[in-house]
Amino acid sequence: MRFLKITIPVLIICTILLLPVLTYAYSPSWWPIVPCGLKTQPTDVSLTDSNGKAWDYTQPCNQCLLLQLASNIINFVFFAIVPVFGTLLFIWAGFLILVGGGTGNPGRVGDGYKIFKQTFYGAMILLASWLFTNTLIKTLAGDSDLSNNWYNIECKVGTLKEITQP
C-alpha cells in the first residue's frame, strides 16, 4: 500500500514535467503519416514538396507514395515513439532505484538497474547503427548530394520524359 502512496504522486509529477516535452511543436516531415488518399487537405500541416508547392494529401496513392508511407512510419517510430518511450523507461528505472533504496528492497533496486541498463544499451544500438550507416555511406559516396541526403526518399511517377525534365 505504501508503494501506491508513493507511486501515484511521482507518476503525476513526472507526467506534469513531461507534458511540455511531449507537446513541443515542430513540423515533422512525416506528419500526417499517410501522404495520400485523404478526403480533405489537413489544415494544420504546412509541408511543401520539392518544388515548393503545398503538399497535396488528397492525391491518389501510387507506388512512390507507398515508399513515402514506409519512410513516414519508420521516422515516426524513431523520432517520436523511441525517444519518449526511452525517456519514460529511464524515469521508471530511476524511480525503482529510488524507492527500492529508500525502503530497503534490493529487488526493486536490481530491477531498476536492469531496466536502466537495457534501455541504455538499446538506445546505444540504435544510435550506433545510424552512425555506422551514415559513416559508411559518406565514406563510399564522398561529399555528394547522395551522401548528405541518403535517408530522404525521392521518387517520381510519370513518363521518362516527365521525370527527367526539371
Place of cell 541504455: 120
Residues 6 or more apart whose CB falls under 8 angstroms from that of 154 comprise 50
The CA distance from 150 to 137, in Å, is 8
Higher pLDDT, 26 or 110: 110
In tens, the pLDDT along 113-147 reads 999 999 999 999 988 998 898 889 888 888 777 77
pLDDT for 67 equals: 84
The CA distance from 57 to 36, in Å, is 5
The CA distance from 124 to 132, in Å, is 12
Over residues 12-37, the mean pLDDT reads 66
pTM for this one? 0.64
Cα–Cα distances (Å) from 38 to 31, 33, 56, in that order, read 13, 11, 9
Q: How confident is the model at residue 40 (pLDDT cuts 50, 70, 90)?
A: confident
Over residues 1-17, the mean pLDDT reads 68
The CA distance from 120 to 1, in Å, is 31
